[in-house]
Structures are given as structure tokens and as C-alpha cells.
Amino acid sequence: MAVTDELLNKVTWKIPNALVLIGSRAGEERNAMTASWVTQLSMEPVLIGVGVDNDAVTHRLITAGGSFTVNLWNAEDTKVFVK
């Protein structure tokens, strides 16, 4: 069976992932964005990594503000993010 773009897309959507809300702030400017790529990088020290586009407002605010929040949701609550 050949791997088509359609098949690859279908399989990719089956990979379990967490939907999180990334909060960012620099001064009085605040932003929140949904993200599906978040991972633990280290236990000691505790480090969390998230995928944020370099052109995103969130990236600019994290860079300027120096921190961010990762807000977790239960499966039922993530339905509010479905388009």
C-alpha cells in the first residue's frame, strides 16, 4: 500500500496529544494561544517545551516577558476549541 498524503494526514490525527492553552505577557500586553505540542524536557531541573511559531504574538511576548504558562484542560473542556 502506498502512503498517500491523505493516509498520512489521517494517521497523524490518530497520534495522541494534549491540547493546552499557552499564556504569555509582556508589560500590560497579554495573549493566549492553543498549542498541541508540549513536552517535558527535563526532570531536574524541571523544564517544559512548547511549540510556538517565531512569527506568533505569543513568541514575541514570551521573549519580551521571559516566561509563559501552560494551562491544561480535561478532555471534555477541549471541545470549546473545536472549530
Residue whose entry in the numeric block shows the C-alpha cell 504569555: 24
Domains and CATH numbers, the chain: 17-81 (2.30.110.10)
Is 64 a residue whose pLDDT tops 70?
Answer: yes
* DSSP helix/strand/coil, 6: helix
- Contact at 8 Å (CB) between 49 and 38? yes
d(CA 4, CA 57): 34
Question: So what's the pLDDT on residue 57?
Answer: 97
Cβ neighbours, 10 Å, residue 24 = 23
Question: So what's the pLDDT on residue 78?
Answer: 65
Confidence of residue 60 (pLDDT cuts 50, 70, 90): very high
Mean of pLDDT values over 45-57: 92
Question: Could you tell me the pTM of the whole model?
Answer: 0.69
Segment 11-42, tens digit of pLDDT: 766 766 678 899 999 999 999 999 988 888 88
